[in-house]
Structure 1
Amino acid sequence: MEHLPRLLICDDDRQMTESIKLVLETSGYQIQTTNNARHALTLIHADLPDLVILDVKMPEMSGFEVLDSVDRERCDAAFIMVTGEASVDSAIKAIRKGASDYLRKPFEPDELIIRVEKALKQRQMQRDNICFEIEKRKLQNQLRHSQKMEAIGTLAGGIAHDFNNVLSIILGNTELALADIPTGQAPRANLERILTASLRAREMIQQLLSFSRKEESGRKPIQLNHVITESLKLMRASLPTNISIEKDICDTPCTILADATQIHQVMLNLCTNAAHAMEPDGGTLSVQLEPVTLDSQSTNEFNCLKPGHYARLVVADTGHGIDKSIIERIFDPYFTTKETGKGTGMGLSVVHGIIKSNGGTIRAFSRPGRFTEFHLHLPITELPMANEPTIFDQQLPGGHEHIMVVDDEEMLVDIMRQVLEQLGYMVTAHTSSQAALTDFRACPDRFDLLITDMTMPGITGIGLVNAVKAPAPTCPSSSAPATMNRSMKRTHLRWGFKPWS
């Protein structure tokens, strides 16, 4: 229903008040009147009219005094001052004090209507401009935040890649050392602890890299059990130690059609909010995942859900809770109760959008001072998951071919050389792509395979491959991410190159 403008008329002359009311009522306005200036000020703050027609000279308070006393943060009404004086100074004073117009008695009914319409239009334009500026500032802040997160992601990705090189050296040398130490000896137990810790670090780095990637992998069948477990491993490293994590992840596979990166984002936002709610004393973060079947009766309490099989995810905390008066607004964009620097008001809005776009629902339940729970339902799909990479558990066959290995990290080159030589291959190793190209061109027929890093100073891996293939197109070539992205095993030696590829 269209909002009818609400007008307040205040004049100590009752006859004038009624005549103005009679004229404006014919134009469809909602009219309220008073003959007391102090009462008018009370009505302005209580009812927030759209326009006030105010007499200048009145007992107790003048129209100008009323205008000065209006709280502009609470009321943005337009004001038309009316008077029997023909003073230019009085008109200028009214405009300077914030009045929209100044009208001298007596006036024609048509003139009054025109002045009222003009004042209301000016007020609406001012409102639109304010809304535009507010929205503009919000979008600018959102853009700055997005650029900041993109920069952090790029930085995190670069650090993770460099750390992976260091981690690969630790893993490689540890496993090579384990291959030479018989079972039961004390040094072997120490090396196995190093290996276990390094493998955990590798998993964390892989998760960090998944957040730093700019490209979305797109929706595909994923096992929600694994994604939730991986997210909690990452959150454990970032949450305060006074927050314990209790998880109850079912063994039954819950396969959903979604983007794994977006599900990670959902968990990150929900767990971070839970951590903030439990500050400063800490508490318990509980995560539960189970498959459920909803029939037609069960779906009545959900919006837009059809009967079928769903994965139910519950994220709960023992924090301060959410007040009943605002719990319905927590998914609104920019709505936040956190102090400056703790939140943008976009976290739960993003979560809501991701869940809705994947055909699910999210609801919040809370008891202030005790707990908050978020219940998410995501439809389970029957589509098959992509085949996992084959793990070579059997002993790898060796060979006698000649392999060229190129990587600008000297210790990585040395580890690759040792592994390949143990398998019987002849290896020529280089830490300079330019030196490798010169060596290859000197005698291209003696090399059977090229393994090269992708990113190197001088000539990149792709550039080296293209240069090598030009004079010798029959030479099989590959890059490290393609050839070494697997777990290599021989009896008791387990090895993996560049796990981030």
Structure 2
Amino acid sequence: MNKEITVLNIEDLEDDTLLIKRALVKGGFTPEMTRVETPEALREALQQKDWDIILSDYSLPGFNGLNALTIARESTPEIPFILVSGAVGEEVAVEIMRQGARDYVMKDKLSRLPPVIERELAEAARHKEQFKDKEEKSKLEEQLRQAYKMEAIGTLAGGIAHDFNNLLTVIIGYTDMAKYGLPESSETSQCLDQVLKAGQSAKNLVKQILTFSRKSPETLSPLLPLPIIKEALKFMRASLPTTIEIREDISPDTSSIIANPTNIHQILVNLCTNAFHAMDKEKGTLTVKFYQEELTREDLIDEPDIAPGPFVHLAVSDTGSGIDKKTMARIFEPYFTTKEIGKGSGMGLSLVHGIVYGGEGFIKVESEPGHGSTFHVYFPVVEDSAAQIEEVFQGPLPGGTERILIVDDEQVIASVFQKTLSKLGYLVTTECSSERAIELFRTSPESFDLVITDQTMPQITGAELAGIILKIRPDLPVIICTGYSSILTEEMAQEIGVRQILMKPVSRSTLALTIRKAFNNHPSP
């Protein structure tokens, strides 16, 4: 069976091209040949398709085989270049071979050409496979480096989250207490509201860090993306240089989707950051559009697994350099980047792709070299009634007269909880040592109606403390409050007998409501 090959023949005589083609057919090839005879035609042909072999005469009108070799090597150095010519001087033959030609076949010896081509095609295939193996090895090494880096970031993030959430517990706790009893219309109360709002934003930021480093579980639930989009845009305005103009076209009439708040924030930040880099930090326009639209089966022809219906549509456009077809095919690959070393991990668009398709959405990209790019992200709409909207507790907080033991190795946090709960009527005892807390409880186990303990403490953790206490009094409600723990899960806590897990920072209302819930869900002895 004849072997099909594509041949670019640099030759000014059509008859010679026919002779070469005849020799190739006789040698077992089925050649698809294209003849060019000028430098311009050669450059154009090299851009139009992938060639298996280049055969070139030496003497050509206006240029020669050495010139042709130089042009070919500039754009496609991997394609074997063979000189097929009449008699040339020995010095010329040596020079053209030295410059990179694979072989030299004289036109009166064309029977030599098929085996030469066969050899060079085999050699090219071997080199291609070696290059592929080397490229794959480099890619795997880079992935390993990135994995180690992410592991280190995750460990660091966990430590930062614990300490930072402890600080936020103090800030939010004392702000809540300072605000208590003040008229809502007073300037002081309004100022404290801003402190609480900033504290909540900081809490969400810690969640984003933990989710990004995979140290926090990812949950998908109904949510309204509009406020998250607006918040992310504020963040980008503060992050990008003033030379970048940001244009917004945000519709207020958008519905809920199934997603994770951190993920929605990350999608917009990553797409905007990618757009900024595409504009090379110079003047440019970044346009963000967000609206709802109805997509038909025809609109989803490229997404057969997606059902027609209403979608929220996020579009991020830039006026950058655009993306060529070769790069477009790889933009969502992990660790693929066109940036310089140290300027990007190549994970931004890959993460966006994973988030979007993991949430049953899809992405479309429009781009043309020299004309910028637009990334379109679509998420299917769900019923608004299902959206989880954070409620602010209104009215007086529930209190009680029960006796509560608080255990936290941070004195300032124990003090915040003690003052907060004392104002709600509880009788509170604090202890900053888990070992002393156990001694206190063993001495008088009936003196307490509920225990609130931190998780991360020296010597004995909160989970271990809860286990010891519940062996003494299995009926006792226990709440574990933690700034961050990658070890304790809700399932593990339930197995121990813990009633609730609270993530720091804890607001006054959350603490009060959780305590009453622990009492109400626990049968009286």
TM norm structure 1: 0.73
What fraction of aligned residue pairs are identical, expressed as a percent?
A: 37
1:71 alignment counterpart: 73
Q: Which amino acid aligns with 1:75?
A: P
Partner of 2:156 in structure 1? Answer: 155
Find the counterpart in structure 2 of residue 166 from structure 1.
167
Cα 1:184–1:221, aligned 2, differ >3 Å: closer, same or farther? closer
Q: Quick check: 1:454–1:479 contact (8 Å CA) kept in 2?
A: yes
Between stretches 339-348 and 164-173, larger displacement belongs to: 339-348
For 1:436 and 1:483, the matched residues in 2 are separated by: 19
Distance apart, 1:438 and its partner CA? 2.0
Paired with 2:65 and 2:368, the residues of 1 have a C-alpha distance of 50
Q: Name the SS of the counterpart of 1:144 in structure 2.
A: helix
> Does the CA-based 8 Å contact 1:207-1:230 persist in structure 2?
no
Post-superposition offset of 1:448: 1.8
Give per-residue Cα distances to partners, 1:448-498, cap 9 Å, x unaligned. Answer: 2110111112111111111212233232222125365665449xx99999x
Counterpart residue number, 1:87: none
Counterpart AA for 1:429: T
**Corresponding residue for residue 445 of structure 2:** 444
Alpha-carbon spacing, 1:80–1:369, altered in 2? closer, same or farther (3 Å) = closer
In structure 1, the partner of 2:493 is none
Cα distance in 2 for partners of 1:372, 1:80 equals 41
Report the counterpart of residue 88 of structure 1 in structure 2: none
Structure-2 residue corresponding to 1:456: 457
- Aligned residue number for residue 320 of structure 2: 321
- Shift of residue 240 of structure 1? 3.9
Aligned residues: 480
Secondary structure of 2:406's counterpart equals strand
Q: In 1, distance between residues paired with 2:173 and 2:147? A: 38
* Deviating more after overlay: 138-147 vs 449-458: 138-147
Provide the rounded CA distance (Å) in 2 between the counterparts of 1:33 and 1:293.
49
Counterparts in 2 of 1:446 and 1:133: CA distance versus 1, 3 Å: same
Relative to structure 1, the CA distance from residue 183 to residue 112 in structure 2 (aligned partners, 3 Å threshold; closer, same or farther) is closer
Distance of aligned partners of 1:115 and 1:322 in 2 relative to their CA distance in 1, 3 Å threshold: closer
Cα RMSD (Å) of the superposition? 5.2
TM-superposed deviation, 1:157: 4.3
- What code does the residue aligned with 2:319 have? H
Moved more, 24-33 or 426-435: 24-33
The CA deviation at 1:427 is 1.6
TM-aligned CA distance change 1:238 to 1:126, over 3 Å: same
How many Å separate the matches in 1 of 2:200 and 2:156?
Answer: 22
Q: Which amino acid aligns with 2:413?
A: L
1:360-380 C-alpha deviation (Å, 9 max, x unpaired): 443445799997543333222
Contact map agreement 1:394 1:489 (CA 8 A) in 2: no
Query: Which gives a bigger RCO, structure 1 or 2 (Cα 8 Å, sep 6+)?
Result: 2
Change (3 A) 1:216 1:67: same
Q: Which residue of 1 aligns with 2:24?
A: 24
Equivalence for 1:257: 258
Distance 1:256 1:381, change over 3 A: same
Change (3 A) 1:146 1:245: farther
**Contact 1:321/1:366 (<8 A) preserved:** no
Task: After TM superposition, list the pairs within 5 Å mapping 1:478-497 onto structure 2.
Answer: 478-480=479-481, 482=500, 484=502, 487-489=507-509
Cα distance, 1:403 vs structure 2: 1.3
**Structure 2 counterpart of 1:268, one-letter code:** V
Counterparts in 2 of 1:363-378, with a 5 A limit? 363-364=364-365, 373-378=374-379
Aligned to 1:86: none
TM-score by length of structure 2 reads 0.70
Q: Give the AA of the match of 1:265.
A: Q
CA distance in structure 2 between the partners assigned to 1:52 and 1:283 by the alignment: 43
The answer as to whether partners of 1:331 and 1:348 remain within 8 angstroms in 2 is no
Measure how far apart 1:417 and its partner are: 0.7
Report 1:301-316 matches (<5 A): 304=304, 306-316=307-317
Per the alignment, in what secondary structure is the counterpart of residue 472 of structure 2? coil
Q: Measured at CA, do residues 188 and 463 of structure 1 come closer, stay the same or move farther in structure 2, by a change above 3 Å?
A: same
Partner residue, 2:273: 272
Which consecutive unaligned segments of at least 5 residues does structure 2 have? 86-92, 483-499, 516-525
Counterparts in 2 of 1:389 and 1:277: CA distance versus 1, 3 Å: closer
